Chains A and B, each alone.
Chain A
């Protein structure tokens, strides 16, 4: 049995954007889905704090769950499969509203036009079919669909990874604006550190199911503590033509051969340039090394 996510504790505040950075297999998508109840954890809780009421998302059932669903939303990575291409754009937004019990045609129309404007799409697009839209446009429809309910928490799962470079900025701006203007909390999942820095106030780095470091974005980028975070940053491509004949120094070996067993002790130890004896047998835990800066590593 593989623990996709193991021993994670994370808080996202109102109007905050927290980035979950990790590569494939890090557990970030599983964590994101668990955060809004799409996956039930085998143990642990997801607590939604609205005003003074605490609701355990993992325990909600029936009508309570249905009303929670409105407040917890997800933006998917692939705009070509997450929005049904064979529908009219208007219907892609009308149907979720009706599913949540909104009856009035007037209200439906108003809400749809409102979110459409918020995601910067021209009204004419509403009468098109989704298949007539480009990837970037479809992603905006996916976001509009999420915003229909003014959610409290949105998990954005690699929302720009499949989009061309020139289209990413606009999507990120929409998300930033919503979090600022509406107080929506975003858990922004990505494998790109540079994107995380731009969109998020805090970054949590994940590796094979564990959060290995959490800190304000500037601190993660300028003063990374965990060897994996350092390796990720070193490896990130950046605009630097002077590098063209240079072998980049990477502080970690390649990912391991696929296996159903995670390494013992610290899961990063087989790839870590600073590995010590204790790393192979004991699992480290998150420790606050500096105010607001947590790291899970035997070096600290």
Chain B
């Protein structure tokens, strides 16, 4: 079963890039694969992950761990809220990360990190269970930033947080890019969040990239029929109705030939059923669809 195939994704310095897709699209598997976090039996079958020209997939574990993980590439996941162990204080855990990587793990340093994410220094003395969901997520972001990484990969960083806290966390991520030049790969199913946060985006469907490009252009005129359907399914406060996309995403273990969106596509043609479309430039985007 191929969770993701033929995917090409780039994040530049100081860029915020979005990776959007629904459950079963392969986006989370892609992220885990990129960060060498796939648990067996999952594995990366082919491809490279180039960080400043270096293929980090091929590095020996020690090298990756000492030079890249946490130091250059940090991650914040949806389960971040359980990313802390309950038996140590927040401050202790953050300072551990610092010390293990040979940096100074002082209280002052921890306090500075907590300040960065708008958390009171007293949070350092608390245990994870004493914090609210939003505070824990912020604390995890603080920990992810401990070694001043260049890239932050955030997988559904605000799901399960209340709307107001979510907005505050997104503001925080934007300020990290603005003030520290950190690049962010934001992975989420929520197109509304993506629209308010990213410069460029990628849309995945059934393990393939179906549309990618400039965010403003995408939201003005999404090109792939799936993107159009997804956008129509995303309610805003002004929506009078919420459409859906009829049908269901195909079972990744049983993908039929041709374009995987055919059963749900209002524009499906003969060629779509026979041959899988490749990404092609259209405007400031690329789309994988026979309509173009």
Contacts and interface: CB of A to CB of B under 8 A. Distances in A.
Asked if A and B are interacting partners, one says yes
Interface of A: 23-24, 134-137, 164-173, 191-195, 197-198, 221, 231-248, 250, 252, 254-258
Interface of B: 16, 22-23, 126, 129-135, 162-168, 170-171, 174-175, 178, 189-193, 195-199, 215-216, 218-220, 229-231, 233-246, 248-249
A125 B245 CA distance: 19
B61 to A, nearest CB: 35
A114 to B, nearest CB: 22
Given A257-B130, A257-B132, A257-B135, A250 B164 contact: yes
Most buried by B among A23, A170, A238: A238
A165 B189 contact: yes
Contacts of A171: 244
B79 to A, nearest CB: 16
B235 A248 contact: no
Contacts of B230: 165-166
A194 B196 contact: no
A243 B195 contact: yes
A161 B147 CA distance: 36
A172 B245 CA distance: 13
A71 to B, nearest CB: 28
A241 B163 contact: no
Given A247-B171, A254-B165, A168 B131 contact: no
B167 A238 contact: no
Given A164-B23, A169-B233, A237 B132 contact: no
Contacts of B241: 169, 198
A245 B174 contact: yes
A230 B71 CA distance: 40
Given A164-B22, A198-B235, A243-B195, A255 B162 contact: yes
Contact of A244 (B23, B198, B233, B246): B198
A247 B219 CA distance: 20
Given A197-B239, A198-B239, A244-B16, A252 B233 contact: no
Given A238-B236, A239-B219, 17 more contacts: A23-B164, A134-B248, A164-B22, A170-B246, A197-B239, A231-B164, A237-B192, A238-B196, A239-B234, A241-B219, A244-B174, A244-B196, A244-B215, A245-B178, A250-B168, A252-B164, A257-B131
